[in-house]
Amino acid sequence: MPVTVPAPPAAPYVHLRAAAGGGVKRWLLHGLLRAGVRRPRLDVSDLGRLRRQNASFDRRFGRVDPWLRRLPVEAAGVGAEWITAPESRAERVLFYLHGGAFCLRFPNTHAALAGRWCRRLAARALLVDYRLAPEHRYPAAVDDCVAAYRWLLTQTAPEHIVIAGDSAGGNLALATLHRLKAEALPLPRCAVLLSPVVDFTLSSPSLLTNAARDPMFTLEKLTALRLLYAAPEQFLEPALSPLFGDFAGFPPLLFQAGEIELLRDESIRAAARAHAAGVTVEVDIWRDMAHVFQALPLPQAAIAEARIADFIERHAGWTRAA
């Protein structure tokens, strides 16, 4: 299926963003990522060890605002967590799908990330704890996200819902939209997608052009991780590779990605497909930034968050908290 791939910032909806400051911190963080994430050999046969390492990282660095309240909930049998801030208005819901290569969780990191958006937008967030691979392979995660969204519709009007996700969660956000559309369910007002995985065939040019620049991933690791989640004969299914679905009728989409990450062009290609289908799209490519940099303590993350808040305010009508 041919897909036009505009190079940033060739398309009018693609913007190359930059922000001053944080150079030394960024250099240190990227160095830590290269040493701790990129260089160690990925042993998918010892996923338990990988999960313990990531849980330790999450406990150490996932700093959740003490003003946030976290409440576990069952969403139609799917584990989830409500994140509520002092500013939250009950009717505004951020339906957030976490990243983690479909096989990992970072509960504190993602609660902190979603919580910052909640405070800025006077909303609350529902973080979906979907089933993980390889114990639960595709389409289990998508099934859980759709079930949780159906549950949310029983208590919140769709015009008050914004869907968002990062990395694998960005994939699931787009896959969920495809499934909701196919099942004629009401869609949320807009979607925010941070470095989403959209093409399991691994055909994006940046997988090669950024091979030496990405401080987190290698093509070898992405190839190994995708097989934990799905089989090759499934790679073209829209609920697995959302790039190959029909975007017509989707709500407005905001993509954000780092300029130096392997997955940069996933956002550009998906936005091109959506734009061709008549969907309102915006793409922010952040100079010298890595995968899901919005979760890192960098000045660029704060400015990217302000861009997200502006997009949601324009398309969902959520006025920002004072």
Catalytic residue list: 167, 261, 291
Report CA-CA distances (Å) from 264 to 3, 31, 66, 76.
15, 20, 33, 34
* The two structure tokens encoding residue 308: 């997200």
Strands 78-84 and 14-17: unpaired
Looking up tokens 């709500």, which residue turns up? Answer: 251
By CB atoms closer than 10 A (0-12, 13-18, 19+), residue 140 is: middle
Estimate the crossing angle of helix 140-153 against helix 168-182, to 10 degrees. 60
Measured at the CA of 167, the angle between CA 35 and CA 181, to 5 degrees, comes to: 170
Backbone angles phi, psi at 280, to 5 degrees: -70, 120
Backbone angles phi, psi at 6, to 5 degrees: -70, 140
Residue 122: CB atoms within 10 Å:
17
CA 183, CA 130: separation in Å to the nearest integer? 20
